[in-house]
Amino acid sequence: MDTFLYGFALFVIIALMIHIIGTIADGAFMEWTEYFKKKWKMSNFVAGETIQALGTSAPEISISIIGLYILGENPALGMATIIGSAVFQITIVIGVPILLAEKSAKLDPKGLLRTASVYGGSVVLLWIFVQTGNVLVWWELAILSVYHLTYMYFLLSNKPKGEIADNTPEHDESEIENKTLLLRWLDKFLNLIPSPKDKWGIVNGVPIGFIITLLAIGVSSYVFVDMSVSFAELLGISSTLIALTVLAGGSSMPELFSNIPLAKKGNIDQAIGNAFGSNTLDICISFALMSIPYALFTGSISGAEIESMMIPIMFLFGYLFLVLLIFAVAKFETRKWQGWVLIALFIIFVAVNAFYVK
Summarised one tens digit per residue, pLDDT across range 184-197 is 788 888 888 888 88
Instruction: Identify the CA nearest to 301 among candidates 142, 146, 147, 150.
Output: 142
How far apart CA 80 and CA 86 sit, in angstroms, is: 10
Listed range (13-22, 225-234, 328-337) with the worst mean pLDDT: 225-234
DSSP bridge partners of 233: none
Give the pLDDT of residue 164.
46
If we measure between CA atoms, which residue out of 257, 323, 318 comes closest to residue 107? Answer: 323
pLDDT value at 109 more than 50: yes
Report the predicted TM-score, pTM, of the whole model to 2 decimal places. Answer: 0.74
The three-class DSSP label of residue 135 is strand
Secondary structure class of 136 (helix, strand, coil)? strand
Q: What's the rounded mean pLDDT across residues 320-332?
A: 92
Confidence of residue 73 (pLDDT cuts 50, 70, 90): low
Which tens digit of pLDDT belongs to each residue from 274-299?
Answer: 888 888 988 898 888 888 888 888 77
**Domain span including residue 320:** 2-160+169-356
pLDDT score at 176: 45
C-alpha distances in Å from residue 7, one per residue of 15, 233, 264: 12, 10, 37
Q: What's the whole-number mean pLDDT along residues 201-227?
A: 84
**Average pLDDT of span 312-319:** 86
Q: What value does the mean pLDDT take over residues 217-246?
A: 75
Higher-pLDDT residue of 93 and 233 is: 93
Q: What is the mean pLDDT of the chain?
A: 79
Radius of gyration of the chain (CA): 19
Separation between Cα atoms, residue 259 and residue 55, nearest integer Å: 13
Among 185-189, 196-200, 249-253, name the one with the lowest average pLDDT.
249-253
Total domains present in the chain: 1
**Can you give the pLDDT at residue 308?**
67
Find the largest Cα–Cα distance for the chain.
Answer: 61
Domain of residue 154, CATH code: 1.20.1420.30
